[in-house]
Amino acid sequence: MRFCVAAVLGGMLSAAWAYVTPEDAAVLGARLSPLGAEVAGNASGTIPAWSGGLTAPPPCFETSRGRYCDPYPDDRPLYVVTAENLAQYEDLLTPGQRALFAAFPDSYRMRVFATRRSFANPPPVYAAALANATRAVLVDGTLDKAATAVPFPLPANGVEAMWNHRLRWRPLVTERVSAQFAVAASGDFSQVQLREQLRFDYGEEGYELSAARGVLSQRLQWLEAPERLAGAGLLIEDVARAADFGRHLWQFGTGAEHTQRVPNLGYDTSGIGTDDLRTNDQIDAYSGPLDRYDFKLIGKQELLVPANSYALHSDAVPYRELVGRHHLNPDLARYERRRVWVVDATVKRGSSHLYRHRRFYLDEDGWQIRVVDNYDNRDALWRVQETHSVMAYDRLYELPVAETVYDLPGGRYLVQSLNNEGPEIAYPAIEAGDFGPSALARRGRKLSRDAQR
């Protein structure tokens, strides 16, 4: 694996990063999975070995109308963590998770199930990850010589681990309609309906950074409801070079005719329809450039984290049963004991962000961020994020189906990416030209006109 070679010369510290050699990379696909996870289970047997994941749809998929039905319908909780027995399990919880038990001792609990290491990617993605291991490089924070799969299956530092989450593989194009709820401390909520299209350029076979002009992905979002907000939207293009990011951000206002480039739309700008509960770089747990933080790779830890959350995705569960007063319905959430990479992030000197300090917990199997503890400018714990996901076994990638942001001081929370009552996730053949600013304006104008009829 890569290692830091440091020497003190004349009172100055210099450091250089050695590359992964072919000999070092030989552990991938053997002792480690192609993406760098430990294949073996843990010593206690509470985490099983990874045996390739869930690579085919279960029988229930045939009658599920294209939804991701539960491949583990007979699983029952091994135990339930509550405020009363928290001391037994607190070493398996993040500070933010423990804070949720303290804030809502009468209602918050975690149902813990057997760990199902269901993660899988298509074989070409594994081949790309193996190729990336010995060639991918960061030059002044800019990614180079990487394509299709996670760039650093053997991460040497926190920045590389975060790049792996940012560029974990997804299908080229996905489209979904989802519900987003901002829930007040009283239990009252505002609901919006969001349409999102994501083009994951980087994931395409044969992708080349230079040919793509550094564009990694393109994300379009529009509000479809309520009527007064219909048509408002944004376009965020993630790019390899952080200095270029400001030129790849557009927004479209309700009733407008044209898009507007907004260089400060990323980072800690509030997301549309979120009641200021989420920043734009909290989309997908964390998205966008990494240049405002110093990242430190702490190591691995075993934690209880959300995973295989098929019950939260079921069309048999209406939103009124899922969205609780202070948190999601704990009788529908599923937690498993998993190994996660721990990455600490602190705002760089000379930079600024709403969150001075963040700690990320990334699943070792697929690099999905499972939990984030966010701290304010006094370094007090402020907001806790969790990503509940399912294995999309027909496409071989991990799909978030409920993303939460809990505001601890305010007793509020946001949940997004719900589509229990909406249409299935689609994988259309949308052309690259359908993802530009003109597409943002075209759909926005139509949604605004339709809402006024």
Domain ranges of the chain: 59-117+170-452
Evaluate if residue 201 carries a pLDDT over 60: yes
The token pair that represents 376 in the structure block: 């304010």
Q: Which helix (H) or strand (E) holds 344?
A: strand 335-347
Structure confidence at residue 2 (pLDDT): 40
| 8 A C-beta contact, residue 152 and residue 136 | yes
Instruction: Calculate the CA 276 to chain-centre distance.
Output: 19
**Peptide bond before residue 226 is cis, with ω within 30 degrees of 0:** yes
Q: Please give the DSSP secondary-structure letter assigned to residue 392.
A: E
C-alpha closest to that of 451 among 146, 140, 168, 195: 195
Evaluate if residue 42 carries a pLDDT over 50: yes
Choice among 175-184, 202-211, 314-323, 340-349 with the minimum mean pLDDT:
202-211
Structure confidence at residue 432 (pLDDT): 76
Angstrom distance (rounded) from CA 62 to CA 65:
7
**Mean pLDDT of the chain, nearest integer:** 94
The token pair that represents 344 in the structure block: 């600490």
Structure confidence at residue 433 (pLDDT): 83
Q: Is the pTM of this model over 0.85?
A: yes
Angstrom distance (rounded) from CA 377 to CA 158:
21
Angstrom distance (rounded) from CA 100 to CA 350:
32
Give the number of C-alpha atoms closer than 13 A to the C-alpha of residue 256, restricted to the C-beta side: 19
Strand partners, 373: 359, 384
450 pLDDT band, cuts 50/70/90, is confident
Over residues 334-355, the mean pLDDT reads 98
Evaluate if residue 16 carries a pLDDT over 70: no
The token pair that represents 446 in the structure block: 């139509």
Q: Number of helices (H) and strands (E), helices first, in the chain?
A: 7, 19
SS3 282: helix
Beta strands in 226-334 (DSSP E): 233-239, 249-252, 260-261, 293-306
Over residues 202-217, the mean pLDDT reads 93
Give the number of C-alpha atoms closer than 13 A to the C-alpha of residue 239, restricted to the C-beta side: 18
Structure confidence at residue 67 (pLDDT): 87
Which architecture does CATH list for 59-117+170-452? Clam (2.50)
The token pair that represents 256 in the structure block: 């407008």
Evaluate if residue 293 carries a pLDDT over 50: yes
Please report, rounded to a whole number, the percentage of residues in the chain having pLDDT higher than 90: 90
Structure confidence at residue 451 (pLDDT): 85
C-alpha closest to that of 19 among 44, 7, 1, 37: 1
SS3 63: helix
Angstrom distance (rounded) from CA 251 to CA 261:
7
For residue 223, count other CB atoms closer than 10 A to its CB.
25
Structure confidence at residue 4 (pLDDT): 37
Structure confidence at residue 12 (pLDDT): 29
What is the SS3 string spanning 169-236?
A: CCCCEEEEEEEEEEECCCCCEEEEEEEEEEECHHHCCCCCCCCCCCEEEEEEEEEEECHHHCCCEEEE
Evaluate if residue 142 carries a pLDDT over 80: yes
Instruction: Calculate the CA 230 to chain-centre distance.
Output: 26
| 8 A C-beta contact, residue 267 and residue 279 | yes
With vertex at residue 182, the alpha carbon angle to CA 180 and CA 184, rounded to the nearest 5 degrees, is 160
Cβ burial 17-29 (10 Å sphere, 16+ → b, else e) = eeebeeebbebbb
